[in-house]
Amino acid sequence: MATTREQAVEAIQMQAARDSGRDGRDFLREEDRRIEQLMLSAAGLVFDFSKHDISGPAFAELIALTDAVELDLAIQALARGDALNTTEGRAAQHMALRGSGKDEARKAQAKQELERALTFAEDVRRGVFTSSTDEAFTHILHIGIGGSDLGPRLVYETLSDPNSPVEVRFLSSVDPDAFERATAGLDPATTLVFIVSKSFGTPETTLNTQSAIDWLEAGLEGGIGRHLVAATSKSEAARDVGISDARIFEMWDWVGGRYSLWSCVAMSVMVAIGRTKFEKLLGGAQRMDEHFLQARASANAPVMSALVIWWHRSIKSCQSWAVAPYAIRLRLFSGWLKQLSMESLGKSVTIDGKPLDEPAGSVIFGGEGPDSQHAFFQMLHQGVDAIPVDIIAFADGGNDRHRMALLANAIAQAEALLVGRSKDDAMVELSSKGMNDVEARQLAPHMVMAGGRGSTFILGHLLDAESLGALLAFYEHQTFVLSVLFGVNAFDQFGVELGKKLASTLENEWSAGQDGEHDASTRALIRQFDQYRR
């Protein structure tokens, strides 16, 4: 008889109990084939899972969990384009955007629209498509929020170079400072406004679009039509703000916003980095897709990574998970990952709407490696909770002295988390520095680092378009696998809606000069807001 999910989880818990008191240090010493089994290669990246406090037998039980939840079938359904987003009756076909999976019809649709976007982008890049004053565009104002912003912004930050003929400014928030900053120094005559909104109804994007149109109109004599471009699944709404069909690129309801960076959503990035680089980004993602769709669970990097996160969340009750890319060009990475993972997995009910038996999703935090070492790494090393961390690094690129220092830091952090420092070692260290015994005994407890703290090390050769594509696709697949393990829908986000609705109620009340019905705290805040503005 097939093992149920409950039985598989119980077997994992029993193995965890048997392994209690031991960690990665012991398992690395005792398990002959640990490196061979837990250092995986996929799409040009190497993933080292061997430092985690998960023994070989525990990994075997985790693999058994993937059988119990029928992960294989879920992955096949994803590749086929089944309507996995059941609450909204939609497929999740982000893989089709890069030509992967088995959904031939959607792949063809995606390819055609991608070609349109790439062609238009090249025309803007080369100055073939010009402004209303017949000048080449020098800037793109990319307006969008959430998935319509974070992915393109990250790719732009990582892959654009200072020689690009066009600079992209991103505008997401309604903070008046955001608009000021995004348009500072821009000339409407050479600025293309690119509005990205799948729904074309997101309030932040609507307001920023109105302000951008006002800004264009104030600065341009002739029409502004050539300055407006959109990516949306609601072309009618885009037409209503004056965007012509030729400049409306299509998004589909079968791609979630946070999974959409592979499409026309990134048209501004295509302009900045050019067709070749953008296609390499897609190629890297495609290689990761192939790996994900073909490799067996124990050799499948996204699956193994998801199992590691699931272990820490469900077995070790660890609420958070850190990510530290040792690459300044990936400084926006954790922001992108936060939306991808937390908007996908921050749920309290199963896909069937039943309360979850165990928590799903982790709090993700992170930042660029060396900067993070001087910020939150202290807590990773000595905080009460053992928080797993993904360390991402690339072996080559740029000045060698700096590269070596960067990599030494990345590898040393993972090593320090694992080996820790005992009180005896601290005593030896302090006495070797000439400290007397009494003082050393007082200081040593503060220097103790528990060790045995797990990290996943992701190592690539070069940070380029291909490895970036592979890395981002890796996390998309990891998120999907986690959703299957937790039993939640990774593709809806109803939690973000109530706040939006209440914000619009407040705005309406304020413009009508009315007092609405609110709780005492909210009323007090509104009064205070009012007082400041009088």
Contact residues: ligand F6P, CB under 6 A: 145-148, 197-199, 202, 205, 257-258, 343, 493, 496
Return all residues near 409 (Cβ < 8 A) that are at least 6 apart: 326, 369, 370, 373
Nearer to ligand F6P, 61 or 343 (CB): 343
| C-alpha–C-alpha distance, residues 306 and 261, integer Å | 22
Phi, psi at 348, each rounded to 5°: -115, -5
Return all residues near 326 (Cβ < 8 A) that are at least 6 apart: 368, 369, 370, 391, 392, 393, 394, 406, 407, 409, 410
Taken as a whole, the chain contains a residue count of 534
Nearer to ligand F6P, 145 or 392 (CB): 145
Beta carbons of 370 and 326 less than 8 angstroms apart: yes
Nearer to ligand F6P, 23 or 343 (CB): 343
Nearer to ligand F6P, 145 or 288 (CB): 145
Considering the candidates 30, 500, 501, 507, report the single residue annotated as catalytic: 500
Nearer to ligand F6P, 375 or 496 (CB): 496
What are the CA-CA distances from residue 483 to residues 75, 157, 193 (Å)? 11, 29, 36
Q: How far is the CB of 493 from ligand F6P (least distance, A)?
A: 5
Nearer to ligand F6P, 202 or 314 (CB): 202
Q: How far is the CB of 126 from ligand F6P (least distance, A)?
A: 28
Give alpha helix (H) positions in 221-300. Answer: 235-240, 267-294
Block residue for tokens 């400049």: 247
| C-alpha–C-alpha distance, residues 53 and 62, integer Å | 13
- Find, among 414, 312, 419, 319, the residue nearest to 373 by Cα: 414
Q: Is 221 a catalytic residue?
A: no
Q: How far is the CB of 258 from ligand F6P (least distance, A)?
A: 5
Block residue for tokens 């097939």: 2
Considering the candidates 374, 433, 446, 497, report the single residue annotated as catalytic: 374
Q: Is 277 a catalytic residue?
A: no
Q: Quickly list DSSP for 353-420.
A: SPBPSS----EEEE--HHHHHTTTHHHHHHSSS---EEEEEES--S-HHHHHHHHHHHHHHHHHHHH-
Nearer to ligand F6P, 87 or 528 (CB): 87
Q: Is 500 a catalytic residue?
A: yes
Q: How far is the CB of 319 from ligand F6P (least distance, A)?
A: 22
Q: How far is the CB of 202 from ligand F6P (least distance, A)?
A: 3
Q: Vertex 431, ends 426 and 436: CA angle to 5°?
A: 115
Please name the helix (run of DSSP H) or strand (run of DSSP E) that holds residue 424, with its range, or none. helix 423-432
Q: How far is the CB of 502 from ligand F6P (least distance, A)?
A: 15
Q: Quickly list DSSP for 207-227.
A: HHHHHHHHHHHHH-SS--GGG
Q: How far is the CB of 197 from ligand F6P (least distance, A)?
A: 3
Nearer to ligand F6P, 220 or 473 (CB): 473
Block residue for tokens 């996160």: 309
What are the CA-CA distances from residue 63 to residues 44, 131, 451, 474 (Å)? 24, 56, 26, 18
For the chain, state the CA radius of gyration.
Answer: 25
Q: How far is the CB of 426 from ligand F6P (least distance, A)?
A: 47
Considering the candidates 113, 204, 250, 343, report the single residue annotated as catalytic: 343
Catalytic sites, residue numbers: 343, 374, 500
